[in-house]
C-alpha cells in the first residue's frame, strides 16, 4: 500500500511536472531528525533533517519546498546540506490573523461580539497599529479596535496563493544528485531558555542545590522528538527582523535526578562556550514552555557572612535606611565543595531549612555564568538580630591654595572620627565583616582595632560580637580633596 508520505510527494511531483518544474514538498512527515540549540537571549538554532523518498528520481528535482518551519525564521541565516542550492526564498504569505487582515483590504469581513452575539459585516478600508477602519452596507464608517479578545473575526474565503503555513523554497541545480537526507539549518527568534536554582540552606553550612531550565517556544511551530542543546555564554547576535513574541500558553514540567558522572558527560565545549545536551529527546509544542531538571546536588558546602558597609546608608533596591548587617551567602563551584559543574546564569532562590525539614524563603539573586572553580556570593537580606548604628565627627584639618596666576589648586584634608556600634541580640556569637570603602586618597590613622586594606573593596575588619552584647569600632580617617580653581583676569576695554 502506498504510504501517505509517498502519496503526497508524488502528487506534488505530478502537479509540478505539468509545468516542467519538479518541486518536492518536504513537510513534517518527511522529517527524520531534529536538533534544537537554544540560547538564553530569545533565539535558537534549528537543524531539521528531511528524507527524500527512494522512490523519487531526485535528479529531476529542481526545487524543494520546506513546510513546518518557524514563522520567525531568519531566512538570511539558513543553509542547506545535501543539495547544491542556487536560490532560496521564504514566503511570508501564509495563514495568520495579521496576514488575513492584510489580504482582505477592500473586501468584506465578518465581526462578532462574543459577549452580546452582535454581528456586523463590513468592508475593510484600512489597518493601523490599533484600529480597523470599516465601511458598512449603508456607507457608515466605523473605527474598530484591532486587537480584542471579545471579538471573533471570520473571513468568507481564503486569498489566492496563501500558504497554510510558513514555507522556505530552495532551487537546486537540476540533474545534480541530492542526498537521501537533506538538512535545513536556520536561526529563529521565539526559542530560548532560562535557568532557575533552588538553594536549600541546612545546618552545618550544608545546602541542597537543584537546577531547572525552562524551555520556551514562542513560535507557531511544533517541534517534536527533538534533541535539545542549551548553550551557556553570551553570543553576539544581530537579527534584521523585528517581531512581537507570542504569549506563552501552557506550562509542563518533567525531570529526574541524574548521577554526577552522567551529568558531566552531557556538558561539552563548543568554541568558547559550554553546551549542555538534555539526556532524552523532548517535544516542544508551539506557544508553550516546559521545565526540565538538569541537576541536583546534596550536602554542598556554603558559608554565611554578615556585612556592613559604612558608607552605604540606604538599600539600593528599597531606598530604606540600612540599620542591620546584611546576610551574604558564599560558595565555590568545585567538586570538593560538592558542586564542580558549569552553572549557566539564572535566578537563584534561597530557602532556610531546619532539622524538621521546614522551609522558609530567605531571598533571591541573579547567578552569573559560573565556571568550575569560580566563587559566587549573594546578598539575600538583612540580619534581624545584628543591628548597626554609627556616629561621626568631621572637621577640616588643613586647607591651602597653591599654583600660578591663572590656575590654582585648593587642597583640603578632612579628619573624621567614626564610631560603629554593632549589637548582637542573638544567643550565639556572630562575626561581622565591617567595610570602609576607600575614596579621595583616604587612609586610617587611628583605630581601636586593626583594619586590612583589601584591593577593590576597601579597609575591612572582622568583628566578633559576643551573644547578646555589643562592640564599638572606633577609628579616624584622613581624606584629601583636591579642587582646581580658575582665576580670571580682567583686561581693560
For residue range 277-307, list pLDDT tens digits in order. 888 899 999 999 999 998 999 999 999 999 9
Check: CB of residue 386 under 8 Å from CB of residue 423.
Answer: yes
Alpha carbons 78 and 170: distance in angstroms, whole number: 11
In the predicted model, what is the mean pLDDT of residues 265-284? 74
In the chain, pLDDT over 90 holds for what percent of residues? 40
Domains, the chain, ranges and CATH? Answer: 4-94+163-189 (2.60.40), 97-154 (2.30.30.520), 386-486 (2.60.40)
Q: Cell for 256? A: 529526574
User: In this predicted structure, what is the pLDDT of residue 15?
Assistant: 43
The residue ranking higher by pLDDT, 427 or 269, is 427
Query: What would the 3-class secondary structure string for 169-227 be?
Result: EEEECCCCCCCCEEEEEEEEECEEEEEEEEEEEECCCEEEEEEEEEEEECCCCCEEEEE
Q: Considering only CA atoms, which of 431, 437, 435, 415 is closest in space to residue 471?
A: 431
- CB of 293 within 8 A of CB of 210? yes
Q: Are 185 and 70 in contact (CB under 8 A)?
A: no
Instruction: Report the distance separating Cα 249 and Cα 288, nearest Å.
Output: 5
Q: Is the pLDDT of residue 10 over 70?
A: no
Within 13 Å, how many C-alpha atoms sit on residue 460's CB side? 14
pLDDT for the residue numbered 338: 95
Residue-wise pLDDT for 324-364, tens only, equals: 999 999 999 999 999 999 898 999 999 997 777 788 999 99
Is the four-CA dihedral 267, 268, 270, 272 of positive or negative sign? positive
Q: How confident is the model at residue 163 (pLDDT cuts 50, 70, 90)?
A: low
- What are the tens digits of pLDDT across the range 72-107? 888 888 999 998 888 888 776 566 667 777 777 888
- Compute the average pLDDT of residues 458-478: 94
Whether 197 and 209 have beta carbons less than 8 Å apart is answered as yes
pLDDT above 90 for 164 = no
Give the mean pLDDT of 140-169: 75
Bridge-based pairing of strands 458-465 and 324-332 is unpaired
To the nearest 10°, report the CA torsion of 161, 167, 171, 176: -120
Closest C-alpha among 297, 282, 308, 283 to residue 432: 308
Which comes out higher in pLDDT, residue 174 or 399?
Answer: 399
pLDDT digits (tens, 9 = 90+) for 203-226: 899 999 999 999 999 998 999 999
Q: What is the structure's pLDDT at 58?
A: 59
Amino acid at each position: 500500500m502506498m504510504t501517505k508520505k509517498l502519496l503526497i510527494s508524488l502528487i506534488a511531483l505530478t502537479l509540478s511536472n505539468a509545468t516542467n518544474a519538479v518541486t518536492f514538498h518536504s513537510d513534517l512527515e518527511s522529517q527524520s531528525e531534529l536538533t534544537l540549540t537554544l540560547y538564553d537571549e530569545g533565539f535558537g538554532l534549528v537543524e531539521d533533517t528531511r528524507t527524500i523518498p527512494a522512490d523519487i528520481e531526485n535528479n529531476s528535482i529542481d526545487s524543494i519546498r520546506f513546510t513546518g518551519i518557524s514563522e520567525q525564521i531568519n531566512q538570511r541565516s539558513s543553509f542547506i546540506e545535501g543539495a547544491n542550492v542556487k536560490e532560496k526564498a521564504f514566503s511570508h504569505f501564509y495563514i495568520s490573523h495579521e496576514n488575513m487582515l492584510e489580504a482582505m483590504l477592500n473586501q468584506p469581513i465578518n465581526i462578532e461580539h462574543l459577549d452580546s452575539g452582535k454581528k456586523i459585516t463590513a468592508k475593510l478600508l484600512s489597518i493601523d497599529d490599533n484600529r480597523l477602519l470599516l465601511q458598512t452596507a449603508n456607507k457608515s464608517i466605523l473605527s474598530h479596535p484591532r486587537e480584542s479578545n471579545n471579538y471573533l473575526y471570520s473571513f468568507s474565503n481564503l486569498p489566492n496563493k496563501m500558504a497554510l503555513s510558513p514555507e522556505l523554497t530552495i532551487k537546486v541545480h537540476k540533474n545534480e544528485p541530492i542526498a537521501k537526507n537533506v538538512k535545513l539549518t536556520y536561526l529563529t527568534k521565539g526559542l530560548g531558555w532560562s535557568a532557575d536554582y533552588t538553594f536549600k540552606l541546612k545546618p552545618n553550612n550544608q545546602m541542597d542545590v537543584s537546577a531547572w531550565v525552562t524551555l520556551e517556544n514562542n513560535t507557531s511551530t511544533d517541534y517534536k522528538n527533538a534533541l535539545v542543546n542549551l548553550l551557556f555564554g553570551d553570543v553576539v547576535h544581530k537579527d534584521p527582523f523585528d517581531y512581537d513574541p507570542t504569549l506563552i500558553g501552557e506550562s509542563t514540567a518533567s525531570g529526574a535526578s541524574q548521577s554526577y558522572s552522567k551529568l558531566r558527560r552531557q556538558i561539552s565545549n563548543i568554541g568558547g562556550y559550554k553546551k549542555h545536551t538534555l539526556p532524552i529527546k523532548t517535544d516542544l509544542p508551539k506557544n508553550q514552555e516546559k521545565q526540565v531538571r538538569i541537576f541536583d546536588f546534596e550536602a554542598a558546602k556554603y558559608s554565611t557572612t554578615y556585612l556592613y558597609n559604612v558608607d552605604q546608608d540606604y538599600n539600593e533596591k528599597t531606598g530604606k535606611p540600612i540599620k542591620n548587617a546584611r546576610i551574604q551567602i558564599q560558595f565555590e563551584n568545585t567538586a570538593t565543595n560538592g558542586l564542580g559543574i558549569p552553572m549557566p546564569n539564572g535566578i537563584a532562590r534561597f530557602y532556610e531549612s531546619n532539622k524538621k525539614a521546614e522551609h522558609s524563603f530567605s531571598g533571591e539573586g541573579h547567578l552569573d555564568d559560573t565556571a568550575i572553580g569560580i566563587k559566587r556570593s549573594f546578598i539575600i537580606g538583612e540580619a534581624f538580630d545584628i543591628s548597626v548604628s554609627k556616629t561621626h565627627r568631621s572637621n577640616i584639618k588643613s586647607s591651602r591654595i597653591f599654583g600660578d596666576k591663572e590656575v590654582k589648586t585648593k587642597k583640603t584634608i578632612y579628619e573624621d572620627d567614626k564610631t560603629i556600634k554593632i549589637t548582637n541580640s542573638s544567643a550565639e556569637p556572630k562575626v561581622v565583616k565591617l567595610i570602609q570603602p576607600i575614596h579621595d586618597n583616604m587612609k586610617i590613622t587611628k583605630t581601636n582595632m586593626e583594619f586590612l586594606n583589601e584591593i577593590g573593596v576597601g579597609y575591612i575588619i572582622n568583628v566578633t560580637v559576643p551573644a547578646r552584647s555589643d562592640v564599638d569600632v572606633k577609628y579616624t580617617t584622613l581624606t584629601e580633596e583636591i579642587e582646581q580653581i580658575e582665576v580670571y583676569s580682567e583686561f581693560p576695554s
